[in-house]
Each structure stands twice: as structure tokens, then as C-alpha cells.
Amino acid sequence: MSTQPKPDPMTPVPFTIVRRRQELKDTFTVELTPASANRFAFQPGQFNMLYAFGVGEVPISISGDPGNPEKLVHTVRNVGAVTDALSKLKKGAEIGVRGPFGSPWPIVEAEGNDVVIVAGGIGLAPLRPAIEHVLANRSKYGRFVILYGARSPADVLYMKQLQNWRGRLDTYVDVTVDHAGRDWAGNVGVVTRLIGRANFDTHHVKVFICGPELMMRFTIKELSDQGVSKDDIYVSMERNMKCAIGHCGHCQFGGHFICKDGPVFPYARIESLMQVRGM
């Protein structure tokens, strides 16, 4: 039996930024390595609390490849004081990390099925580890579909990677934006319109959705119209996570804590809560 003390989930561990990339005008990616270990294992869909020293903590989904645990990757949108402080950190700077926390995408349960990823905006980041996993284990899954919507071509996250995924012969990728200039050769329209053309087996599919809640609602309605069972739909929810271990109650969602019971939920489990106005 190991005598190694279990790390305190409330104590941030220092990580060093080894690479920083500006993805979009307001969105950046950092690659981190821990100061005291050489790997960071996680499951696709989980998140970490990132601590900008002296400013505060924010919950950010892990967006790297679970098959490459030497690198911890986070894509962050600059929307507040903490993310703004994180955005100003350069290569070599330190960030405090607590985690990983939360429930993962059901990638093992999805084996043997078609898998459909529907992402909106920065919602592609929490899904990227699941995409990497499916691609690394491609023979275990049926048709693999990635549908992505963004506001405009300038807001498309991971553009090069989307192109690489599309270039594979075993993956169907479709991208749409809300509006575009003539130099955009892709789709224009809502992400829900991509669903009917994706040609997956609606009776043997697992669908993973991440994006703004409004987009997820529209997507779920379209999937239901197409005949996908609610039991086959999974969503990643976002709330104001603080402690990340279900103690503080900041992220309470009905009888659930998003940080502990989520962020990934089977839709059937939270359907009634998603209909409640103001929740």
C-alpha cells in the first residue's frame, strides 16, 4: 500500500508555461508542465482550476491530448479579471493548477457506436480531448462526425486542426459560421443545420455537445427531431465553479454540483433542469 500522501485538492500546484499561442483575438492556448512531476493524467471532458497568482482562480477545461499527458493544455477565452491576468503571462511564467476535476465524456461507453461531436464557439476546446481519443482509437468507433459553429470565420477555433481532421478519410467534419464575407468558402448558417446532412446512424450514436446553453438547446431539439434518443446525448455544462469539489455550492444546478457531478452530464439526467427558467 502506498504511503504517498494524497494531494490536497484545494492546494494549487505550480506549473510552468512552456508555450503560449494566440488562437483568436480574445482566446489563447497555454501548454504547461508541472514543476514536480512529468505527467498529468486526465480524462477527456475534465477541467482544472487555474490560479493566476495574486488575482484568483478560474475553472478551465483541459483541451489537450489525453494520450500525451506530458503536456497539460488549456485554451482560455479572456472574459474577466483572472483570464485577463492569465492572458498576460508569457513563456516561463508560473500558473497554479488544481485538478483534474469533474466527470468525463463517456468515450468508453461510446465504443461500437457512431460518435457525433457538436461544438459551438470555444466549446470545441473541452471536446478536443475526446476527439483526440476517438481518432487515436478510430477502429473502435463507427462513423465519426465533428460539427462546429462559430460567429464568423475569424472566430473559428483550431482552424488548422479542423482542416487536418477533415483531411482524414475516416472523419466527417463540417463547419459553419453565422455570417461571412465572400472569401469564406464554407457554410453559413446555424450549426443545427449541419446535423441533417451528417448522415450518422441515429439509433446507434453517442452525441457530445459543448457550447453556449442556447446553442445546446437548439442542437438537442434538432437531434430529437432527427430521431436521436435523449439517452444518447451528453452535454457539458458551465457554472461558476469555485471549490471544484462540491463543498462551496457556487455551481449548484438543481440537485447537482456541476464541478463534481458534471461538467459532463447525460442530457436525460438534467433535461428537466434545462427547462427551468432562470436556473
Q: Which residues are CB-neighbours of 5 under 8 A, at least 6 positions away? A: none
H or E segment and range at residue 219:
helix 213-225
Please report how close the Cβ of residue 242 comes to another protein at its closest, in angstroms. 17
User: In terms of CB distance, is 179 or 247 closer to another protein?
Assistant: 179
Question: SS3 of 230, please?
Answer: helix
Distance in angstroms between the alpha carbons of the first and the last residue of the chain = 45
Q: Which of 21, 138, 197, 203 binds another protein (CB under 8 A)?
A: 197
- In the beta sheet, which residues pair with residue 29? 21, 75
Q: Which of 1, 185, 199, 255 binds another protein (CB under 8 A)?
A: 185
Residue 161: how many other CB atoms lie within 10 Å = 14
Q: Is 179 in the site for another protein (CB under 8 A)?
A: yes
Q: Is 86 in the site for another protein (CB under 8 A)?
A: no
Cα→Cα distances 267→32, 118, 210, 220, 246, Å: 32, 14, 12, 9, 20
Q: Could you tell me which stretch among 16-24, 34-42, 82-90, 171-179 binds another protein (CB under 8 A)?
A: 171-179
Please report how close the Cβ of residue 219 comes to another protein at its closest, in angstroms. 10
Kindly provide the b/e burial profile for residues 113-152, where b requires at least 16 CB atoms within 10 angstroms of the residue's own CB: bbbbbbbbbbbbbbbbbbbbbbbeeeeebbbbbbbbbbee
Q: Is 260 in the site for another protein (CB under 8 A)?
A: no
Question: SS3 of 63, please?
Answer: coil
Hey, which residues between 214 and 233 contact another protein (CB under 8 A)?
Answer: 214-215, 218
Q: Is 279 in the site for another protein (CB under 8 A)?
A: no
User: In terms of CB distance, is 54 or 181 closer to another protein?
Assistant: 181
Hey, which residues between 28 and 67 contact another protein (CB under 8 A)?
Answer: none
Residue 196: how many other CB atoms lie within 10 Å = 10
Please report how close the Cβ of residue 116 comes to another protein at its closest, in angstroms. 18
Question: SS3 of 216, please?
Answer: helix
Q: Is 238 in the site for another protein (CB under 8 A)?
A: yes
Q: Which of 178, 201, 231, 254 binds another protein (CB under 8 A)?
A: 178
Residue 90's identity, in one-letter code, is: K
User: In terms of CB distance, is 21 or 179 closer to another protein?
Assistant: 179
Question: What is the Cα 228 distance to its own chain's centre?
Answer: 22
Q: Is 166 in the site for another protein (CB under 8 A)?
A: no
Q: Which of 212, 227, 249, 254 binds another protein (CB under 8 A)?
A: 212
- Sequence length of the chain is 279
Q: Is 9 in the site for another protein (CB under 8 A)?
A: no
Q: Which of 1, 167, 183, 277 binds another protein (CB under 8 A)?
A: 183
Q: Compute the distance between CA of residue 76 and CA of residue 86 in angstroms, rounded to an integer.
A: 9
Q: Is 149 in the site for another protein (CB under 8 A)?
A: yes
Q: Could you tell me which stretch among 34-42, 147-155, 163-171, 261-269 binds another protein (CB under 8 A)?
A: 147-155
Task: List residues binding another protein (CB under 8 A).
Answer: 26, 77, 79, 120-121, 149-151, 155, 176, 178-190, 192-193, 197, 211-212, 214-215, 218, 238
